Structure 1
């Protein structure tokens, strides 16, 4: 189903904020493509640095305090109900637990004959409790990977017929072989001359313990013993209040004698260019990750990925570049695999369902089927 073939819809997405992260990027990308397809896109959040781009792409943004994980958020239920009635949308799509509670409590008191259809996306394997269970109260659920879908069925007892597996889609215009231009590389090397004439081993992701930056440093200490032509680059900044973890990583880098072999570049908006620059991208999360967006992004950019064989990252890597899979937590094998791939001719074939066009068609299919049920077109 192409967007242009569907009846124009009014879609409201709700999430806590629009600062950074995979959920936020996915929301903005879906909003942009909805507008391109002739639909009306509205996003409700507490705001953030991605709002300006969202609005510039044609969506409406409504600032609303849906971000607080607090009982005080219940005071927002009535205002949310009034807002939803005013918007008169076809579908409301919730993407996080705190806003899902506000939206669901508001939605359930609306007229069933006229209220919007309610969809939720499980972006993670949430802790199993009453608070998280609100995500399963939507009329239809979207799982971003097969492991997430199985998790929903196992822990929330949701019928499989209410769940659609839709991997996060990436934009081929953003992630491709040509993103890393000579002009961009020249500017980067002027800022970080230590990267020039090196094989870049990329570690993207916010700085948090479960993302595996410590394992990456251990891996790099082994890799540089095998060869001297590599340089590790960590892209991402520390989460709010977690600056101490960055300090720990810097201390660990020094203790491993990697000060001249690993560079932290902080938060960057040019991650697509870094994929193109890299010889290998690493995914080293120390627990099962719901999706692992960096894996298909790097593969779409033509850069091989090495990742532990678990979670959503394993699913996309198995589909596009199975040679990159390594036994979980085996840093020695990980370093050896990176070493092998640096000089190898990688054959990468990322399936179409990992691209934005496929995600959009599948998501619109969920919306349309729900609306058809209301219109009596599907019994």
Structure 2
């Protein structure tokens, strides 16, 4: 098969990572892989793993972007791929118009992946127009059926995102060298039991609930320290300032550390007692939750969206009713006392995700 995947850019992120994983899997199995994007830091890896990259900015939200329709149609005519896989809304519109203008008998089969719970609109509806529509969780599948009922149910394929157990091995321990460097940078964390909330500093990530939790645990546990791992959102500087002020107001300056954005999240998870997911809006999946569980770390998360699905499967005792601080505090104390470990991953592996994606391509 020859497969073309289309997305805005390759600068890092869950969608981009999944695109590279599928591309490599195709090449490893003797297929031809092409990725169309505006470029970015992951292009070198993509090409190194045997795919071709076509630099083409189809992700700019502007009417001018539609001028690429005819050139993209020409590209499809010349390349004659078997599968055209669209992963993002703006490029999907351009590619769909190009694809739709080709003869039904000669055009590639069309696949779309709904990666997120997009705002419901005509604009978002394009992601449900694939001949096969991949939903990354039951939550996304339900979202499609509820909001885009014109999508034939038989077209929807549930394929969970997955992690590579070799990258996130169960029981993983950070190296002594890493620990020494980390505790030199953050001496206040050494010898403490760390409670970790990963995620950028945006309002939806539930930082205030986390700070309320730490405040409630502070008098009981002398050795508990919170780490918030994530960079400030450039568009939401005020929110970050609000959080820093709130830490002061609650008197938690000695109990909470903001690490900023980090690339060593696996190591940070490995030294944490509990990892949290407290997003106030349901997430389409929840990759960080899966990564922490894959390492064998207890995760406490609000029981909605993809996070609720993952916890139901691997660590049901980690599910917390949305917004219930008392339950969150209670379950945190149970984990701090008993240190229960989640099950090994079976449902959410990268191998399962990739083989299922290839099956969709083959069936089409």
Superposed pair shares fold, TM > 0.5: yes
Scaled to the shorter chain, the TM-score interval is over 0.9
CA distance in 2, matches of 1:284, 1:338: 13
> What runs of 5+ residues in structure 1 fail to find an aligned partner?
1-8, 371-379
Q: How does 1:1-379 map to 2 (within 5 A)?
A: 9-157=1-149, 158-176=151-169, 177-178=171-172, 180-370=174-364
CA distance in 2, matches of 1:259, 1:53: 41
Deviation at 1:237, TM superposition (A): 1.6
For the structure 1 residues 252 and 76, does the alpha-carbon distance in structure 2 shift closer, same or farther, using more than 3 Å as the test?
A: farther
Deviation at 1:204, TM superposition (A): 1.1
CA distance in 1, matches of 2:91, 2:33: 18
Deviation at 1:30, TM superposition (A): 2.4
The secondary structure found in structure 1 opposite 2:301 is strand
CA distance in 2, matches of 1:171, 1:255: 41
Q: How many residues align?
A: 362
**Is the 1:238–1:246 Cα contact (8 Å) retained in structure 2?**
yes
CA distance in 1, matches of 2:76, 2:146: 32
The secondary structure found in structure 2 opposite 1:352 is coil
For the structure 1 residues 224 and 328, does the alpha-carbon distance in structure 2 shift closer, same or farther, using more than 3 Å as the test?
A: same
Deviation at 1:342, TM superposition (A): 2.3
Deviation at 1:72, TM superposition (A): 1.8
Deviation per CA, 1:265-312: give whole Å up to 9, x if none: 222222222221211110000011111111211110110100011111
Identify which range, 315-324 or 236-245, moves more after superposition: 236-245
Deviation per CA, 1:10-35: give whole Å up to 9, x if none: 22221112223222222222223333
Deviation at 1:210, TM superposition (A): 1.0
> What runs of 5+ residues in structure 2 fail to find an aligned partner?
none
Pairwise CA RMSD: 1.7
Identify which range, 305-314 or 171-180, moves more after superposition: 171-180
Deviation at 1:358, TM superposition (A): 0.3
For the structure 1 residues 129 and 252, does the alpha-carbon distance in structure 2 shift closer, same or farther, using more than 3 Å as the test?
A: same
**Is the 1:306–1:324 Cα contact (8 Å) retained in structure 2?**
yes
Deviation per CA, 1:119-178: give whole Å up to 9, x if none: 111111222211111111111101111111011111111221100101101111111132
For the structure 1 residues 245 and 79, does the alpha-carbon distance in structure 2 shift closer, same or farther, using more than 3 Å as the test?
A: farther
TM superposition score normalised by structure 2: 0.94
TM superposition score normalised by structure 1: 0.90
The secondary structure found in structure 2 opposite 1:101 is helix
**Is the 1:223–1:336 Cα contact (8 Å) retained in structure 2?**
no
The secondary structure found in structure 2 opposite 1:353 is coil
CA distance in 2, matches of 1:24, 1:179: 27
Deviation at 1:221, TM superposition (A): 1.8
Identify which range, 263-272 or 130-139, moves more after superposition: 263-272
Deviation per CA, 1:229-270: give whole Å up to 9, x if none: 122112222334223322222222222222222222222222
Identify which range, 361-370 or 9-18, moves more after superposition: 9-18
For the structure 1 residues 296 and 112, does the alpha-carbon distance in structure 2 shift closer, same or farther, using more than 3 Å as the test?
A: same
Deviation at 1:350, TM superposition (A): 4.3
CA distance in 2, matches of 1:73, 1:107: 16
For the structure 1 residues 277 and 10, does the alpha-carbon distance in structure 2 shift closer, same or farther, using more than 3 Å as the test?
A: farther
CA distance in 1, matches of 2:64, 2:142: 33
Identify which range, 203-212 or 44-53, moves more after superposition: 44-53
CA distance in 2, matches of 1:24, 1:251: 35
CA distance in 1, matches of 2:75, 2:225: 51
